[in-house]
Chain A
Amino acid sequence: MSQYYHSIRFDAAKCDGRMKCLRVCPTQAIRVRGGKARMIEERCIDCGECINACPKGAIVPLTDPFGELTRFRHTVAIPSPALYTQFGREILPDKILAGLKKLGFDDAFDLASTCGEVSFAIQEYLREYKGPRPLISNACPTVVRLLQVKYPDLVDLILPINTPREIAAKDIKQKKSKQFGLAEKEIGAFYITPCPVKMISIKQPAEKGKSHLDGALSISNIYGPLRSAMESVERESYRKALESICILGIGWAMVGGMSRTLRLRSSLAVSGLPEIIRVFDDIARGKLRDIDFIEAYSCGQGCCGGSLTVENVYSSHNKILKLIEALEFEKIKACPDIREVRRLYAENYFSLERKIEPRPLTPLDPDLSQAIRKRKEKAEIYESLPKIDCGACGSPDCLTFAEDVVMDQARFEECVLIRIKHYESQRNR
């Protein structure tokens, strides 16, 4: 059994080895061997880039089927605020939550309100924080995993405040079990997710604790049924529906939405893995240390750009902006009670339940002198390669191929250009 749970499966029957996934993987976690793509588990950070790149649909995100709901006596849907961005502008959260109930959930919870509370909690934390900077948001599980795997020395910068989805699930279960006289395990809390990585954060949290959520349903899977279900929902007055929206929390669905609520002197909002890697590389080399906070999402534009969403990401992003504008214009400030948040904060209600530990990649060799020897070998092999990163050998680029050769995971002759050269020299003889 492997050490890491992943929410991505490669369907060998569908894969015809077209290598699109190989090239988009930001952590070089894919190899194509014998015409089939496979994953190197310790390298994968579950970003889901490969899912979108595969032309054959052979890479499948693993979310829960709807039938999972029957395992519980009482079920609650906790949709990511990204779900609110998937429909037309006139459809507001109240209607979406009502639609989820029609789909079969006993209740549906507005996570934006918890996001607002967590914004206040982060403010509290940052106010007293004196340690090294910048602190990095843990909202995106891919970013947390990227730090654990590729930047082990920056793991201590991860904000130790729990995510809204976990806080909400924990709270809902406690309250519902009292209300209905049920055991907490009889209550199912399901996250409606814009991306596959949230699934892993439920099955195998980065901090190695246990998630309070019981599963995740993808937005793309419930989109159709939810759309139909909402047709029979009577809409409240627009104004009344607006009044239930937390202006602090609603922005969490897009990049920058969190930091704008934190009132910081300096913060960065970054989205898209290549950009995040550039920023983390800078931090690792001692730069950006005067920035207070970094909000980073592996999907472009934040959660509203998740690979399991339906709507065009720019429309989704614009919808949140317009919603915030409307709330500001109408002077609606349905905020959480800050005094209540402070009281809960003092009780560690918002604290991450366990420390996040690094999980650096296995070195070339456990023995340092052997590892150095292998690194030297890798450099020598790399020098003799064409360095065009064609990927035809099944490794993503020449440097990684050189490493695969050193590690006996590939043979030097598998380089197509080397083979052509060899063939030509034979022919000319």
Chain B
Amino acid sequence: MKLRDIRQMLEAEIISGEELLDVEIERAGASDLMSDVLAFGKPGLLLITGLSNAQSVRTASIIGAKAIVYVRGKKPDKEGAELAVQKKIPILSTKFLMYRTCGLLFSSGLHGITDLPGSERAIGRSEESAFVQEFGIVGGDFSRAGTVSLKIMEMLKEVGIDPAVVSRASIAAYEAEMNVVMYARKGTFTLSLTPAAIQMIVADEGAGIPDVELAMQEGYSTATEEMREMGFGAGMGLPNIKRNSDRLEIHSEVGKGTRLAISIDLKQSKSV
């Protein structure tokens, strides 16, 4: 669902980010408690809230929300408004109350956080049916590099995932794992498997990617000569992950680290 459609449905006023109305929204979450948003929020979220100060914009930015809707006709304060422009997070303001806002969006088919396949921090029922396994990755440890993706490959085979899908997941997992080994100090790799999707969250503490768009280009690499001689860093990592997954979300902060959310659907998988 496009943000433009959401605006229309909620009869909302555009506070900022008019040029971003064509952004695609896949899921929404509503809360006035920013601690809950931090705990359960997911990248790509539409944040619905009645808390209109700068803190809400900051939280939205941290979780990688795509847009904010303020309910009860609320407007951001000056600091929040400026931050939203700077972070390129569009803000809408609707006259409706929170309940009606959510009801309208939900009944038009917009998913909540836990309704989507392979939710990372799945809560409630979906948590019981998900198989979640976390692995640590040590940066620079080339002798053990690749062991996490190998284990994941085995697990997927054991539960009977289609071999072609196992293959895609293994390639994506391996590339993501190698990125941590090559460019970060350390990282965690979380596999979450539900009947609907394979999700792999790879978060590292490292240099981060200054320009994600550039890094997504095939052949672009910042690998050292030495790494290339070892057969790594041909600049195919991220493009390869994207090609082998159904959804890829990248959040990177220079000097802090990178977080990849890789999803592969299990019901109707795309062929490469």
Chain A residues proximal to chain B, CB less than 8 Å: 150, 152-153, 281-282, 284-287, 358, 360-366, 368-369, 371-376, 378-379, 403
Contacts and interface: CB of A to CB of B under 8 A. Distances in A.
Nearest to A363: B160
Nearest to B153: A284
B178 to A, nearest CB: 9
A281 B130 CA distance: 26
Interface in B96-153: 129-131, 133, 146, 149-150, 153
A66 to B, nearest CB: 42
A363 B158 contact: yes
B164 to A, nearest CB: 6
B166 A153 contact: yes
Contacts of B231: 287
B167 A153 contact: yes
A273 B193 CA distance: 30
B174 A285 contact: yes
Contacts of B164: 153
Nearest to A289: B171
Given A286-B171, A363-B158, A366-B160, A372 B194 contact: yes
8 contacts: A281-B153, A285-B153, A363-B159, A368-B266, A371-B160, A372-B131, A372-B159, A372-B194
A112 B231 CA distance: 37
Contacts of B194: 369, 372
B204 interface: no
A285 B171 contact: yes
B195 interface: yes
Interface residues of B, number: 29
A169 to B, nearest CB: 32
Contacts of B174: 285-287
B94 interface: no
B170 interface: yes
B159 A368 contact: yes
B133 A379 contact: yes
Interface of B: 129-131, 133, 146, 149-150, 153, 155, 157-161, 163-164, 166-167, 170-171, 173-175, 193-195, 231, 240, 266
B149 A285 contact: yes
Given A286-B240, A360-B157, A375-B158, 8 more contacts: A150-B157, A152-B163, A284-B167, A284-B170, A285-B149, A285-B171, A358-B163, A369-B195
A134 to B, nearest CB: 15
Closest 10 pairs between A and B when the two form their complex, measured CB to CB: A363-B160, A286-B171, A153-B163, A285-B174, A371-B159, A152-B163, A153-B167, A369-B195, A376-B131, A368-B195
A368 B153 contact: no
B170 A364 contact: no
Contacts of A364: 158-160
B137 to A, nearest CB: 15
B159 A286 contact: no
Contacts of A152: 163
B159 A360 contact: no
Given A372-B194, A375-B131, A285 B158 contact: no
Contacts of A375: 131, 155, 158-159, 193
A1 B146 CA distance: 41
B129 A373 contact: yes
Given A360-B157, A361-B157, A371-B159, A285 B129 contact: no
A358 B159 CA distance: 17
B160 A286 contact: no
Contacts of B146: 281-282, 285
A407 to B, nearest CB: 11
Contacts of B193: 372, 375
A369 B125 CA distance: 13
B120 to A, nearest CB: 16
Interface centre among A286, A360, A365, A403 (most CB of B within 10 A): A286
B170 A372 contact: no
Contacts of B163: 152-153, 358, 360
Contacts of A286: 170-171, 174-175, 240
A373 B195 CA distance: 10
Contact of B131 (A281, A363, A365, A379): A379
Contact of B129 (A153, A282, A358, A369): A369
A244 B243 CA distance: 53
A372 B266 contact: no
A282 to B, nearest CB: 8
Nearest to B150: A281
Nearest to A281: B150
A363 B130 CA distance: 17
A153 B169 CA distance: 12
A376 B193 CA distance: 10
A366 B160 CA distance: 8
A374 B130 CA distance: 11
Q: Which of A150, A363, A364, A365 has the most CB of B within 10 A?
A: A363
Contacts of A374: 159
Contacts of B130: 372
Contacts of B158: 361, 363-364, 371, 375, 378, 403
A235 B35 CA distance: 91
A361 B157 CA distance: 8
A261 B149 CA distance: 35
Nearest to B236: A286
A364 B193 CA distance: 14
Nearest to B164: A153
A371 B193 CA distance: 11
A14 to B, nearest CB: 33
B90 to A, nearest CB: 37
A105 B213 CA distance: 71
Nearest to B232: A287
B51 to A, nearest CB: 37
Nearest to A286: B171
Nearest to A288: B231
Nearest to B240: A286
A196 to B, nearest CB: 27
Contacts of A373: 129, 131
Contacts of B171: 285-286
Nearest to A282: B146
Nearest to B146: A285
A282 B133 CA distance: 22
A149 B231 CA distance: 29
